Structures are given as C-alpha cells and as structure tokens.
Chains A and B, each alone.
Chain A
Amino acid sequence: MTINPDAPARRLQQSYEIMLDSLLDEVIQLDDNGYVLTWNRGAERLKGWTAEEAIGQHVSAFYTDEDVRGGLAERELRNAGEAGRYETEGWRIRKDGSRFWASIVITAMRDPNGELLGFVKMSRDQTERRAADELIRRQRDEILELSTPVIQVWDRVLALPIIGTLDSNRAGRLTEGLLAKIADLEAEFVILDISGVPTIDTQVAQHLLKTVHAARLMGATSILSGVRPETAQAMVHLGIELGTLRSRNTLRDALQLALQMISASSNGVVRHAEALTP
C-alpha cells in the first residue's frame, strides 16, 4: 500500500488506522503509565474487549491474578522503558476470563528530547504453538523412554541401559518403570548400564543410588555396568561412594557376575570370591 507523502495528514492517519486494523496481531498504544490509548481489531479479536471497553484501562487488567500481585506489568513496562524494546512470553487473560499464552513485544516511544511518551505493545496468541511445543517435548520424552527399555537378559535378570542425561524427573520415571518390571517378571538382579550417560556427577550418582536402593527394597540386587576407567576415576575424585554396589566394565561382565551370584547362592557351595568386594 503506497502512501502519498503529499496527502493531507487526515488521510495519512486514516491509512495508518486501516493498516493497523488489518493486522491480525494486537497492536495497542499505552501511555507512559500503562493505560490503554489505542486498541486495534487484532486486540479485540485476541482479548475480547472492544476499543470502547479497553481504552482507559490499565494494561494489568489483561494479566493473571498472580502476575498482577507480582507487579509483572509494571516490571515489563519498566524494562521496555530502560532497554527501548522488551520481548517476553506469558499467560494473559481474555475478557471472558480464559487464559492464552501470548508472545509480546513492548516498544518505548520517546519524543525528540528523550521524554517517555508511552509504549506500543504488540501481542500474538501462541497458545497453540506452546501446546505443540509441549506435545513435541512429551513425545521426545516418550521416545527417550522407548529407547531405554528394561530388557530381560536372563531368567530373573533385568538390564536397564540408560542413555542420555539423568535429571530427577527422568530418574524418577526410569525407577518407576524398573520397579514395575521387577514386580512383573519377579526379577532378582538388575544391571544398570550407564555407558550412555555422558557425565556422572554427584547428582547423577545420587539418582542411581536411589534407584538401586528402591530396587533392593523389592528384593533385587543391582549391578552397575558400563563404568569406564575415566568414569570410575571421576567418581572417586567427586567422593562418590558406591558402598557395596558392584560395578563392571561391560554389560556382559555384569551378567556373568549376576549368574555367578545366582549359582553361588543356590548350590550351597560357600564362595566368597565375588560376594563382598566391589
């Protein structure tokens, strides 16, 4: 749309308003205290308030109760005032009280002397995109779960190859899955393979030890496998104590140990070899 610079100011203003209204997004103007000065059709579509209803209201009317209590609107305007432009995302409220996830840009408007005149606020409804993002994240988690299934490698012996980082949420889910399988298959040994875990720090070790402890309460003995010499070194440096938890370099060695323990304890022959030393 071309604008003739010689056109009268009134026509220019009209063109500007038509353009604003044609935008799908909300574009509104606030005074320097955050009160609504202008309201375009996108804003009405997004938030439900008409221009007559919205003009004169404070912008915090569109924020959630918790955010109003926390003074979020004032903070965002202050940030925009200081930086000139402020981008953020968050929950906002429509006229009917429903929530939506908004993507927002606030731009500070100043006169030639640098005096703050007010703000221009642009908002876009990102609820669907956010829901899609969450769905993707959940699916990714599930795929990660599928890629670390609990495998039965022998009668009464399970293996859980852990691949990727281990935060408390993931550790919790893995433990739940493992314990369910222990109950299902009446397993007595669990091999936790950590060769796929990039770093073993104190927190990861704690998660592992919790899993081991919970498995023991259900009668299953755990063996750690995939412990490389560097990993073992790092763990010693961090002061991570494994106690009586046995560990082996490979899953195969761990399975061999499990089978040895099964046979040693079932045929009555006293064998101290593997019993007490890690």
Chain B
Amino acid sequence: MSAVIEVAIPTVVDIATEADLLRVRTALRQHAVAAGFGIVDQTKLVTAGSELARNVLRYANRAAANLRVEAVQSAGRTGLRAVFTDQGPGIADLDAALGDGFSTGGTLGLGLPGARRLVDEFDINSAPGAGTRVAITKWKR
C-alpha cells in the first residue's frame, strides 16, 4: 500500500518569470476550489490575479515580488485574499492608473480597473521608490 502524500496548496508564490504566471493562476484556482467558490467566482479571482501578476512582471523591473494567498473571515463570511507585493519602482499616479484607459507601457493600461471590478475588495498601496502592494479579496457567496 502506497503512502498518501498530502500536497499543500502553496500560499506564497514568487513572481520572477513568465513561468510563474502559470503557478499564480494554478494556486489561485486551487485555493478558490478549496474555498468552495463557484466556477464563475473562481474564474473572476484567477483572472484578476493574472492581471495583477502580469503587472508585477512587466513593471517591477525584476525586483523581488510575490503572491500571498490567505483565507479570510469576517462577520460570518469566508473568503480569500490574494496579496501581490513587489519592490519595484512603484506607481507614480495611482488615480490615473485606477481610471480606465491609462497606459505607460504601450499596452492598454495596467488592467487595474478591470481586475478591481472582478473582486469584492481592492486595496492598493504604491509610491515611487516604495514598491507596490495590491490586495484583492473575494467573499464566498
């Protein structure tokens, strides 16, 4: 009889290369499934996470960056929080970045407004030289 190996769903994923994008999506999907999210909410969380992870890769200039996923609870609800942190150059104009149509990288914006619409809570802290931290939370319906 073979031993049963329990593989823990990773709660911290380093974001350094493109290959890590797949790990980010997989971790978020696994956590969402484990948390009992329906397929639509799973997809929304994974998609928002993918947007944010791509931003990290594109703008953090190879500085240290990671995703941390944690289960959260509040007033009887359960959910997931995904926190993307990087030590990159930071976003100079947060207001503009959060508005639709903003772009500095020659692409259609940072994807922040879109990602924000997919989650229940969206907190961003960023300043030039201080890195960026984006926390998204989705509650189980």
A residues lining the B interface (CB < 8 Å): 64, 66, 91, 99, 169, 172, 176
Contacts and interface: CB of A to CB of B under 8 A. Distances in A.
Contacts of A169: 141
A66 B72 CA distance: 12
Interface residues of B, number: 5
Interface in B17-48: 40
Interface in B56-84: 74-76
Interface of B: 40, 74-76, 141
B40 A91 contact: no
B40 A66 contact: no
Contact of A176 (B40, B74, B76): B40
A178 to B, nearest CB: 13
A176 B40 CA distance: 8
9 contacts: A64-B75, A66-B74, A66-B75, A91-B75, A91-B76, A99-B76, A169-B141, A172-B40, A176-B40
Contacts of B75: 64, 66, 91
A176 B141 CA distance: 14
A182 to B, nearest CB: 15
A17 to B, nearest CB: 35
A99 B78 CA distance: 14
Contacts of A176: 40
Given A66-B74, A91-B75, A91-B76, 6 more contacts: A64-B75, A66-B75, A99-B76, A169-B141, A172-B40, A176-B40
Contacts of A172: 40
Query: What are the 3 closest A-B residue pairs judged by CB atoms, nearest first?
Result: A176-B40, A66-B74, A91-B76
Nearest to A172: B40
Nearest to B40: A176
Contacts of B76: 91, 99
A172 B75 CA distance: 24
